[in-house]
Amino acid sequence: MSSIKSSASKQPAKQYVAAVPFNANFFSYTITTDPSTYVKTGTLAAIAGATATTCPAGRILRESGQKLYPGVHPDITTYMVGVIDSITFLTGYIDPNSPVFATHSANVPSFFANSVDPVGGLLDEGSAVYTNGIISAHGQIRCVGATGVRVTLNGTGTVTIPIDVSQGSFVYISGNGNNTLTCTNFNFGDRLFIQTVGTGNVTFSTGFGVATLTVVKADMMFSFICDGAHMLQTGASSWTNVPA
């Protein structure tokens, strides 16, 4: 007795997220045959319409089910997968192990729209990383989001200013008067930049790697890095015409 398959065919599920603009790492593939020798030649070429604008960082690409294999497809030297950009509808091939791409999700059907986190409303663009192992990077390490926020504080008068390092890596303090700075909520490796504009002095106190350090406030930039227990100063500079 014959049977009828009632379940839908498995859809391509794996997805990738681009860490940087990926237009230079997104290819078409064609095979041509020499009519006299019957030798086949494979060619990877840039995708028409692929630019840094149409292929930005953060774009999610879904597998189309097509593959290119070394030794099987002419002139292919690395395993490549076919992907679909559901925003621009551009299709092509990528090297899934390229440092340009990271695995985004292996559990979402290709026909689903890009998801939005129900908490916070952010686009789902990548998984968290939690590890006791070593993270080794030969490229850039970029931190964007909350730790990239600029925090503006008014330091007019004699004011003790608490700085929550987790809320911003760039703190701008303006106003005239003497200020005492303290910092909290820092972790090993955190960086902090403090720009001060105005008159008076600024004193680095609790949370900084000095008992007390008082310097002139006007037009200064200070940089710090956390050793796990304190924010240690790595540099200081002064200039005129500091941008607000």
**Running DSSP on this structure, what letter comes out for residue 77?**
-
CATH class of the domain at 146-238: mainly beta
**% pLDDT > 70, the chain:** 77
- CA distances (Å), origin 154, targets 107, 160, 198, 207: 48, 11, 10, 20
pTM: 0.57
User: Is residue 188 exposed (0-12), middle (13-18) or buried (19+ Cβ within 10 Å)?
Assistant: exposed
160 within 8 A of 179, measured Cβ to Cβ: yes
- Report residue 57's pLDDT band, with 50, 70 and 90 as the boundaries: confident
25 SS3 class: helix
Digit-coded pLDDT (tens) for 40-50: 999 999 999 99
- Segments of the chain assigned to CATH 2.60.120: 146-238
pLDDT tens, 81-118? 999 998 999 999 999 999 899 888 766 665 666 666 66
Tell whether the model's pLDDT for residue 238 goes beyond 50: yes
Instruction: Please name the residue that has the structure tokens 């953060």.
Output: 58
pLDDT range class, residue 189, cuts 50, 70, 90: confident
What average pLDDT does the segment 224-232 reach?
90
Cβ atoms of residues 164 and 144 within 8 Å: no
Tokens of 200: 């008076």
Of 67, 48, 49, 59, nearest to 22 by C-alpha is: 59
